[in-house]
Amino acid sequence: MDLFEKIQFTIATTLKLAPNKITRETSDKDLAAWDSLAHVNLMMSLEQTFDLFLEVEDFATLTSVPAILKYLSEQGKA
């Protein structure tokens, strides 16, 4: 499973969506299920899935698949 697939699975599972609803371009604006509470839950899921600690300040920037991919790559999780 590559990095995108892991992110796709994590988002889909957390938001209770079909994985095919999550593309490489998906953002919080594209999915009604990705509201503010779901975003917090998603950040916790990302921490667990990728064994990292996210600063609260990072939450505001991690609102799309491209942003999450970039962040995880910078953290050496690719």
Query: How does residue 1 score in pLDDT terms, banded at 50, 70 and 90?
Result: confident
pLDDT at 77: 87
Q: Are 26 and 19 in contact (CB under 8 A)?
A: no
Q: Inform me whether the pLDDT recorded for 78 exceeds 90.
A: no
Query: How does residue 34 score in pLDDT terms, banded at 50, 70 and 90?
Result: very high
What's the CA gap between 54 and 72, in Å, rounded? Answer: 11
The residues spanned by each domain of the chain are 3-74
pLDDT at 3: 95
What is the number of H-type helices and E-type strands within the chain?
4, 0
Q: Which CATH architecture best describes the domain 3-74?
A: Orthogonal Bundle (1.10)
Average pLDDT for 36-48: 97
